[in-house]
Structure 1
Amino acid sequence: MKTTIQSLLTGLALAGLQISAAQAALPAEYEFVTEALPGLEIELVQPAPVPGYLELHSGPNIFYMSEDGKHLFVGSLVDIETETDLTEASKAKKRLGYVNKFDDSESIVFAADNEIAEVVVFTDIDCGYCRKLHREIANYNEAGISIRYLFFPRSGPGTSSWKKAQDVWCAESRQKAMTRAKNNQAVESGDCDTSILDAHYAAVNELGLSGTPALLTQDGALIIGYRSSEELLKLLDSES
């Protein structure tokens, strides 16, 4: 039995769920969850949208356990009548919690004059498609889409990409510096508090992101990869 559970945990880890030696304390009524899944980091347990099941949150992921602790379900829970992906709806709400904590002073915003939507973009200055997206920033703004940048230097802290992000953040005009950096031009910068990059990077890990650009809509939908302004508008229209 222990071998089966260990194999399950390994599979969950490969699926992106958080495996940890230390488990955060859950309410006493849900202790059986951690006993059934030792080592799996579960941050939240709450009733699932269907009777008899619990919804378990682990990092950016959501899965389900029967209330008697005997059955585990990993996958999408769909309401057949409404054709709603209930798992994705919960994930979307969770994603918004990770990014809505950053206000204008903690991000770099290219705002549309006649805004119809705002999209959060996790960006890496050295990412080719991030640069392509930024070259078209005027197209997004003209379409009514504001772009809110958060940093995701994929190579991690202490690297060249991270240093470029720091230089942009400490520049007198972050917008102009972002444009220069994305054009592979030198950025005049100074010394400032760059701890916000750590906060952005923490959000990246909480969201389970691995590539850039990564776009998050106001409804919490996650879009991986470049989209033109026309493509993005269609996706946003389909959400509304």
Structure 2
Amino acid sequence: MMKKTMIFALAALISGMSSANVETVRKNLAQNNPELKIENIQSTEMQGIYSGAMEGQVVYLNEDAQHVLVGSMIRLKDQQNLTKNLMIQQNTVDWKKLPLKDAVKSVRGNGKRELAIFSDPNCPYCQKLEAELKKLNDVTVYTFIFPIKAQSVAPSKQLFCEKNPALAWENLVSKGIQPASKKSCANPIDRNLSLGKSLGLNGTPAIIFSNGFKVMGAYPAEQIEQIWKEFGL
């Protein structure tokens, strides 16, 4: 009984020390480098090294928060990529909670694979991603129109007044053709902006896979296919 009590006490002590060290890292970071926005700071398997999330990627820092490392941490005994695991944890959303009814839906082939995209029609990288998405087969793409540029708000709302919003979106983002309708109608743009904010999006484009994994940027079709393969989607 005493042995078990000592084990529990030791575990609690180690946990307390870990929490204290994480708090020290946060304080040092705020004091020494307040301009760096590193979130989700936590201890790692490597003594004295802590992980955090910065601009969608995993970074590592030491206790005095004077050095930041970017790269992969590999556990040698089983070749486990601990950074990849953290990346998945830190960039995952609940797919089932996405309000897909507020997205413009496009189906290619059998549509069995699914993607959710957050896109601004005047974002050059969004336009580039749109071209890459057209190279994918057997996919359903849900595009949450996310106009973070001021000039994108009006046409983004107006395209929902068109008979075929999906076609109006394609014409707008790929060809620069403005929606013909100038009337006002119900649209999800305000909800999409709130949704993007709740997901921590401060730029476009964003890609969310059906397992909830989220990435930022105009990923090539080949890289999207590779992610599908890695996750078995």
TM-score tier, shorter chain, comes to 0.5 to 0.7
Counterpart position of 2:27: 35
Identify the match of residue 97 of structure 1 among 93, 96, 105.
93
Counterpart position of 1:186: 179
Report percent identity of matched pairs.
16
Counterpart position of 2:83: 87
Counterpart position of 1:195: 190
Q: 1:37 to 1:169 in 2, by over 3 A?
A: farther
* Amino acid aligned to 1:56: G
Q: 1:62 to 1:208 in 2, by over 3 A?
A: farther
Q: TM-score, normalised by structure 1?
A: 0.61
What runs of 5+ residues in structure 1 fail to find an aligned partner? 1-26
1:225 aligns with 2:190: no
Corresponding pairs, count = 204
Contact 1:48 1:64 in 2 (8 A): no
Deviation string 1:67-117 (CA, Å, 9 cap, x unpaired) is: x55774421233164655432432233222287742212322324563442
Counterpart position of 1:44: 40
Counterpart position of 2:140: 146
Contact 1:152 1:201 in 2 (8 A): yes
Contact 1:62 1:87 in 2 (8 A): yes
* Amino acid aligned to 2:144: L
**1:208 to partner: Cα distance:** 5.7
* Amino acid aligned to 2:52: L
- 5 Å-filtered alignment, 1:101-116, equals 101-112=97-108, 114-116=110-112
Deviation string 1:182-224 (CA, Å, 9 cap, x unpaired) is: 44142435233532242255368x3564x65x54434636363
Q: TM-score, normalised by structure 2?
A: 0.62
* Amino acid aligned to 2:166: Q
Identify the match of residue 72 of structure 2 among 58, 77, 81.
77
**1:31 to partner: Cα distance:** 2.8
Partner SS state of residue 91, structure 2: helix
Cα separation, 1, equivalents of 2:159 and 2:73: 43
- Which one has the largest radius of gyration? 2
Pairwise CA RMSD of aligned residues? 4.0
